[in-house]
Structure 1
Amino acid sequence: MLNHVRAALRVTIAATVLVVASAHAAPPSDLDRYVKRVFDTFETPGMAITIVERDKAPVVRTYGVRRMGEAAKVDGQTMFSMGSTTKAFTSAVLAMLVDEGKLSWDSKVVDLLPGFRMYDPYTSSEMTVRDLLVHRSGLGLGAGDLMFVPETTLTRAQIVEKLRYIKPATSFRSGYAYDNMLYVVAGQLIEAVCKDTWENVVRQRILAPLQMEHTTTSSTTPPGANKGWPHGRVSTELRGVGPMTPLPKQMSFDNSAPAGSLNASIADVARWLELQLGRGLDPRTNVRLFSEAQSREMWTGQTLIPVAQNPKPLELAQANFRAYALGWGYSDYRGQPIVSHGGGVLGSVALVVIVPGKDVAFAMMTNSEETSALAAVQYRLLDHYLGLSSPDWIGALNDVRKARIAKGQEILAAAATTAPAQGGKGPSLSLEKYAGSYRDDWYGGVTIENGGDGLSIRFEHTPAFSGKLEHVQYDTFRTRWTDRTLTEDAYVTFSLQPDGSIATMTMKAISPLADFSFDFQDLLFKPVRTVTAASK
């Protein structure tokens, strides 16, 4: 998610340093000024940064406010959504179980989690624990994410059950496509082996030993908690354009917790990074949580990721290689190998970076959908610790961001003129003929109703997916979700049988910048035929 820039940001940036010992990691001397410019450029409400060097006390710096319009400042205990950086915690628990001999990375999932099924029998029988973590299952990008994004009523067990109905996009182990679904399976596998919930296992095996007292295993925090409230730009058709505003609520996706539910303070994340630099050994307590061998295994690339060419302003940061490891990404920055992972939920993003060859790590979290803000800090810190000259990353990232938004606006503008150019033809049927119940094999049901003011649509498991359908052309409509802050609108297209009855209904996100988790294109709805007494 890359967002537009407003002219100015009026927020007081307060920096604090958490002092733990006399010898600290030495950040760039201009870090506070640099972050001030990041705030001014990307309208970032709040941010927290930690820098950890092995055998030195971490530095924690915090900036901005927890929520725009309120006075409470971000501090070292303010919790931020960690998003998919949670995946490394799930893989770490599995590493501990490998150390204990309760499973191996190449154990078959069906042997540990009876009832596990993918779409085809071969993949179901051959899927290993390692396969769950490295995005080579054959599932398409973000496949199944609509079962928990935005929040749904499905349970974790139901999500795993529905996995068997998702058709693969490629053959098993043939390529890379990022998914969240199999980390949910990994969480269920942990529960089966440990005879306890994923949440309890993570608390007992990681959070408690590291004294991470300001970290929750739930995606939401209670009212009044010291939380970096989520923010976004949601006032226009293109998410990421317009004023930065607080979102109305925290999104709950605890049904996919092993893939991305943790909330953590930056001081707690520093403890996590100390463990990582210790290769599984906590330097403060001298307690080993997982072996050095498993640390190496988790950082070893498993699935090659195609390397895309960076836009020209970012060509200096061009990676030479990319791979996915076990809950981590493995790549290079200006020739130096790095281990990293980003995380994002609606309204918040996070980034964790480890430079094994320099024994340094850092993390940045912000309460807005501003990945460019985190990338700017990441590049500045990498340059500093690698002893390299640092170009104007803020300006370069802002240029790329503005170009991407301009392209998105161009595509939307072209789409908006399509229907008039075709004379606004259709629909083929009277509106009442489109009304009824529809069902997709993996998601479930959708209801379309014909009211006095036109058609409306309602998803069975997703409260936010409810709103009007507006005709575009032919047999394509578009959603106009009632909730304009947590959703992406989509095209809804009906295909007809030769007799004029509806055969299928498909969907596609309208915005070219829509997050891949809005995987409407993977849905195939079919009418639910009502069996009448006369037809029995």
Structure 2
Amino acid sequence: MTSSINSRRLKVAITALAAVLVVSACGDDNESAAPQGDFSGPPPADSAVAVSDAQIKDAIDRVPELADGILSKTKIPGLAVAVVHNGEVAFAEGFGVKEVGKDDRVDADTVFQIASLSKSVGATVIAEQVGKGVVEWETPVRQNLPSFTMSDPWISDHVTIADMYTHRSGLPLHAGDILEDLGYGRQEILNKLAQEPIEVANFRVHDNYTNFGITAAAESVSAAAGTDWATLSQNSLYGPLGMTNTSSRFADYLGHTDRAIPHTLVGEKYEPRFQRDPDAQAPAGGVSSTVNDLAKWMNLVLAGGEHNGQPLVEKEPLVAAFTSEFVNGPGQNTEFRSGTSGFGVNVSTTSSGRVINSHSGAFNLGAATNYVMIPSLNVGIVALSNAGPIGAVEALTAEFVDLVQYGEITRDWVAAYAQLTAEPAEGELAGKQRPADAAPAGPLPQYVGTYANPYWGEATVAAMPDGNLQLTIGPDRVQYPLSPWSGDTWTFIPTGEMPNPGTVSQATFDGNTVVLEYFDDNGLGTFTKMG
């Protein structure tokens, strides 16, 4: 149907042929017999590690123990877990509370923000549209979204839906995400991506994770379908599948009385301080759902697009999304297995030799989610939590996958994922103390004024009664107190979804310009005083 699917078939054929050649070469040259068996298709999904139904059942029976253990070890407020097996929902329950300080318990119908699990769910929506002939995975984004532009004209015309869903567009890492923190809307952010420097050498070669690349692709698909993304998702997937508590609209999440409240870690306690509105990047991170609903989605994927014995999503484009398209995590040496991605889906091979599909989701402002599916065993697990990412949900699903495959937990996954998800503070001055011999700042009036930037918009710097400055920027008029560091260099603490804890940014004034370090990752952080 698409060139990516055809190329995948070619790779499968080459792999199967190579297997036949190896078998043939093992015998005597003069007396080698023809290999026995059916070699017309791809290599089988068999694993050297056998797994019985009883072992899977035992793993499912231990899920409450695993969930309680995660709550005890990590102190996150609440989570919900569902497991599917052989087309049935084998387990679905909630644990802990929806909000710290209140008694309302999480259940299997509690609505969570699922963050980047939205990418895999959205890929299923697109697969449904590919099956209907509305688009193909290799359709250029601009074909149905001509307003979308990138800074490289050729890439702008040729970047496809598949390129965006494998993060291989050449856009810089997290392009557009900080704009969302400042209050810019979806269309404004997509328009501003035209100013992002393109890493031409990375196009279709290396990946940079970009939520708004995914969003641009989804917008192109919904435009081809003649509707908006949230409506398309509802009509093509959520409604037909009976996902009654799932939506791609933030307002619907807020409208649920049975919803999990986001929490962030303050000191050693979780507090419900923030509420993320992800509508601007809804296709990439804006879905809200329940484990009961996501169990239906996992069963659909594991059944090759069938629901209640009837095809809901055509199998071929769905398989294209959930199989290896691109090596996004090459092995560090010859002993390591490489990680790959499909379209909005991670595809990897476990130590038992089984292929798994997975994805995590995270809001620093208070959500962490993960699913893992093992197609060869027709089993899947999803875990949703109402706390920022510390590896808790990934540890839970990893423990379950261990029990399914080996009958035992192979390592301390809580500690492993805690280390993996810990993000370092950013900024040249992060963790440093102001020098004792710091040069004095200039008179405040020399810094005060309105500064313009074509990407970030206007920023104002105002003098405050305490003798410091305040930076205000973006449609939401986000305010950052500026503190003197040395001479014309001031500092501020970035806020919102994107900065890691402990991040410190410099604001360096030089005549009529100021460079804001936090906003300068891609060389776009120079602001010029107006008037």
Quote the offset at 1:400 in angstroms.
3.2
Code of the residue aligned with 2:515 in structure 1: it is: M
Aligned to 1:260: 285
Aligned match for 1:333, one of 350, 366, 375? 350
Aligned match for 1:457, one of 446, 463, 471? 471
Q: Secondary structure at the match of 1:244?
A: strand
Aligned to 1:379: 398
Query: In the aligned structure 2, how far is the partner of 1:70 from the partner of 1:294?
Result: 45
Quote the offset at 1:227 in angstroms.
0.7
Code of the residue aligned with 1:350 in structure 2: it is: T
Aligned to 2:210: 179
Question: Does structure 1 conserve the Cα–Cα contact (< 8 Å) formed by 2:455 and 2:524?
Answer: no
Q: Percent identity?
A: 22
Question: Does structure 2 conserve the Cα–Cα contact (< 8 Å) formed by 1:146 and 1:443?
Answer: no
Query: In the aligned structure 1, how far is the partner of 2:495 from the partner of 2:92?
Result: 40
Question: Does structure 2 conserve the Cα–Cα contact (< 8 Å) formed by 1:51 and 1:270?
Answer: yes
Distance 1:436 1:209, change over 3 A: same
Q: List aligned pairs for 1:304-453, cutoff 5 A.
A: 304-307=327-330, 320-334=337-351, 335-345=353-363, 346-394=365-413, 396-397=415-416, 400=419, 415-420=430-435, 423-427=437-441, 429-453=442-466
Q: Is residue 2:122 matched to residue 1:108? A: no
Query: In the aligned structure 2, how far is the partner of 1:484 from the partner of 1:202?
Result: 25
Quote the offset at 1:426 in angstroms.
4.3
Distance 1:479 1:387, change over 3 A: same
Aligned match for 1:502, one of 512, 515, 527? 512
Query: In the aligned structure 1, how far is the partner of 2:465 from the partner of 2:163?
Result: 51
Question: Does structure 2 conserve the Cα–Cα contact (< 8 Å) formed by 1:490 and 1:520?
Answer: no
Query: In the aligned structure 2, how far is the partner of 1:291 from the partner of 1:108?
Result: 21
Query: In the aligned structure 2, how far is the partner of 1:224 from the partner of 1:95?
Result: 29
Distance 1:493 1:71, change over 3 A: same
Query: In the aligned structure 2, how far is the partner of 1:216 from the partner of 1:399?
Result: 30
Distance 1:156 1:170, change over 3 A: same
Aligned to 1:56: 88
Query: Taking structure 1 as the reference length, what is the TM-score of the superposition?
Result: 0.80
Question: Does structure 1 conserve the Cα–Cα contact (< 8 Å) formed by 2:87 and 2:378?
Answer: no
Query: In the aligned structure 1, how far is the partner of 2:529 from the partner of 2:264?
Result: 41
Quote the offset at 1:242 in angstroms.
2.9
Quote the offset at 1:280 in angstroms.
0.7
Larger radius of gyration: 2
Code of the residue aligned with 1:306 in structure 2: it is: G
- Which has the higher mean CA deviation after the structures are superposed, 96-105 or 372-381? 96-105
Q: Is residue 2:277 matched to residue 1:246? A: no
Aligned match for 1:297, one of 316, 320, 325? 320
Aligned to 2:480: 467
Query: In the aligned structure 2, how far is the partner of 1:446 from the partner of 1:333?
Result: 49
Cα deviation per residue 1:295-323 (whole Å; 9 max; x = unaligned)?
2100122232234769xxxxxxx961112
Distance 1:339 1:484, change over 3 A: closer
Aligned to 1:202: 233
Quote the offset at 1:33 in angstroms.
2.5
CA root-mean-square deviation: 2.9
Query: Taking structure 2 as the reference length, what is the TM-score of the superposition?
Result: 0.81
Question: Does structure 2 conserve the Cα–Cα contact (< 8 Å) formed by 1:438 and 1:526?
Answer: no
Cα deviation per residue 1:122-163 (whole Å; 9 max; x = unaligned)?
111111121121111112221210122x3x432322121111
Aligned to 1:232: 264
Cα deviation per residue 1:181-237 (whole Å; 9 max; x = unaligned)?
11111222123111111111101111111111111222352366111110111x4xx
Quote the offset at 1:480 in angstroms.
4.5
Quote the offset at 1:253 in angstroms.
2.0
Question: Does structure 2 conserve the Cα–Cα contact (< 8 Å) formed by 1:446 and 1:459?
Answer: yes
Aligned to 1:13: none
- Which has the higher mean CA deviation after the structures are superposed, 352-361 or 53-62? 53-62
Question: Does structure 2 conserve the Cα–Cα contact (< 8 Å) formed by 1:280 and 1:289?
Answer: yes
Query: Across the two proteins, how many residue pairs are aligned to each other?
Result: 469
Quote the offset at 1:264 in angstroms.
0.5
Quote the offset at 1:457 in angstroms.
0.7
Distance 1:119 1:132, change over 3 A: same
Quote the offset at 1:520 in angstroms.
5.7
Quote the offset at 1:111 in angstroms.
1.9
Distance 1:483 1:198, change over 3 A: closer
Query: In the aligned structure 2, how far is the partner of 1:223 from the partner of 1:193?
Result: 30
Structure 1 unmatched runs, 5+: 1-23, 236-240, 311-317, 509-518, 532-536
Q: Secondary structure at the match of 2:435?
A: helix
